[in-house]
Amino acid sequence: MNDAKRTQSIATGKRQVSLRLKGYLVYGLLTTFAVVLAIFIFYQKKVLLEQFDNLQRLYDVEIGLHNADVRVLNAIEIQQVNLRGVDFQVGAEHVQEHLQQLLIASHKIISSSIENSAEITELFAALDTTRARPNQSTLENLSRTLEKTKRVIEQRLEESRLQRKKMVADFHERSNDVALISLSLGFFSLILLGSIIAVFFSRMARDLILLRQRGQEIIQGKRGKPVPIRRNDEVGDLANAINKMADDLDQHEKNLELERQKNFHREKMAVMGTLTAGIAHEVGNPIAAISALVQEVIDEKITGKCPYMDESDICKLHMVLDNTQRLGNITREISGLVQPQSEKFELFDLNALIRNTCNLMRYDQRWKRIQVDFHLDKNLPALNGISDQLTQVVMNLLVNALDAIEASTKTKSHIIISSVVDDEYVCLSIDDNGQGMDKLTLKKATQEFFTTKDRGKGTGLGLSLCNSIIVAHRGRLEIRSTAAKGTVVRVYLPLTIELMSEVAK
């Protein structure tokens, strides 16, 4: 039962995470992952677009370099083929036209392709010189400058091609990386989501199966161990409720068993009272006849009607008379103890109750081998309670003391019974030097159906029943025990309890 309470306490607090909240959390995580993945894809798209724009610009530059290269090559061919050996007096106009076109092409095509370079400055200088003094020498100088410019353009064109290839390779590599990362993240998210769903529903299915099995065990009357609570959601609440229901049912059944034992005790005492009354009547008649006959013989001797008897015969007759009186007293004591008592709270004398119970206990053979000391307060006030139930309490405590002493190996055994007023309570104490109890046994002593006695000698309901009766009288039961030394049981009954007309529950 304590294990059940400890397990139940795990989920008695406020629910931390409900199934709905778990669903919202998963939805939020999926949404966050989708947003992060979308941001990553758009960022990589932006980078790829920038690389594509750079590639496009490089391609335009390469086209310009190619056009400049073609234009320079064309100018070199014109100079080498058409202007070689020309008569500058006759063909000056033709030469100036060629130079003007080359100047325009240099500004529009060549300079835009290799701007901010020494070669283009040198080309413009050669053009200006040739236009100012068109002769064979300046044309040859212009041709050399054009060839140098062509080599620079070809070099720039080769560098542009290499850069373009590198940019294309980078573009393909990045696009492949983005595709691979996106697919990897997608597969990872699917695997992670599938794993979470599989673990979540497998755990839920396992817990629900345990709850179903636990419910079937409860229906079959098997209490067993409580369901371990590992969740803080609605399933955990359900497991906690089932554990609590099992504990409540177990406690209810134990209470029913205690009530059954009480009813059984009352019915047994009623039957014993009826049987004892019949036996007392049947035994009482012969005892009364024997006593009357013996008394008559003694009277006849005293009056002289029976001269054949001496004093020794008179002593024997007195012994017979004493034993008949003793038999009568025993039958009256047993009848008084077992006759049905009132089930209402009434005033009673605790000391008298103790003595009467001990008088009944003296017929137990073990009682004769034990020294019993009484320390009863003569000024003890009357108490309010059900004497029959409290007689059962005293008798159970004395039987437990006798069992503990019987199980010990001590040669001298004793029981000390005392009563005293303690503040607002009357304390009944029963002290024995039996085998005692260890801490674990003492902790479970008042639990229902817990017993250390052999099978058939105890049901485990004695102390539990005593405790329930004492609690019903608004008192308390205290037990102090040390293994191999003995046990002290104290029963505290209140002095101020009100008279109640209902039966103690």
pLDDT at position 11 is 42
Which of 178, 207, 136, 222 lies closest to 51 in space, CA to CA? 178
pLDDT at position 350 is 94
Q: What does the block give as tokens for 217? A: 């065990």
pLDDT at position 499 is 40
* Tens digits of residue pLDDT in 316-341: 677 777 777 767 776 666 665 555 55
- 388 or 394, higher pLDDT: 394
Token match 């794993």: residue?
195
DSSP H/E element including 243: helix 234-303
Q: Mean pLDDT throughout 85-99?
A: 58
In three state form, how does the secondary structure of 303-344 look?
HCCCCCCCHHHHHHHHHHHHHHHHHHHHHHHHHHHHCCCCCC
CATH architecture assigned to 343-505: 2-Layer Sandwich (3.30)
pLDDT at position 457 is 63
431 forms beta bridges with 416, 488
Half-sphere exposure of 2 (CA within 13 A, CB side): 7
For the chain, the farthest-separated pair of C-alpha atoms sits apart, in whole angstroms, at 208
pLDDT at position 425 is 92
If 0-12 CB within 10 Å is exposed, 13-18 middle and 19+ buried, where does residue 211 land? middle
Which of 248, 325, 261, 259 lies closest to 290 in space, CA to CA? 325
pLDDT at position 361 is 82
417 forms beta bridges with 374, 430
- Does residue 444 register a pLDDT over 90? no
For the ranges 34-43, 318-327, 379-388, which has the lowest average pLDDT? 318-327
* Spatial separation of the C-alpha atoms in residues 213 and 207, rounded to whole Å: 10
pLDDT at position 377 is 93
State how far the alpha carbon of 466 is from the alpha carbons of 124, 167, 373, 501, in Å: 124, 95, 23, 21
- 16 or 362, higher pLDDT: 362
Q: Percentage of the chain with pLDDT > 70? A: 71
pLDDT band at 186 (very low <50, low <70, confident <90, very high): confident
Rg of the chain (C-alpha set)? 59
pLDDT at position 72 is 66
Q: Mean pLDDT throughout 148-158?
A: 79
Identify whether the C-beta of residue 158 lies closer than 8 Å to the C-beta of residue 49: no
Handedness of CA 217, 221, 226, 232 (dihedral sign): positive
Most confident by average pLDDT, 123-137, 174-188, 319-333? 174-188
- Does residue 428 register a pLDDT over 90? yes
pLDDT at position 155 is 81
pLDDT band at 501 (very low <50, low <70, confident <90, very high): very low
- 109 or 71, higher pLDDT: 71
* Mean predicted lDDT score pLDDT of the chain: 77
For the ranges 41-45, 51-55, 135-139, which has the lowest average pLDDT? 135-139
Find all residues with CB under 8 Å of 391, minimum gap 6, and list them: 337, 341, 353, 356, 357
- Does residue 134 register a pLDDT over 60? yes
Handedness of CA 217, 219, 224, 226 (dihedral sign): positive
Token match 């067993």: residue?
224
- Does residue 375 register a pLDDT over 70? yes
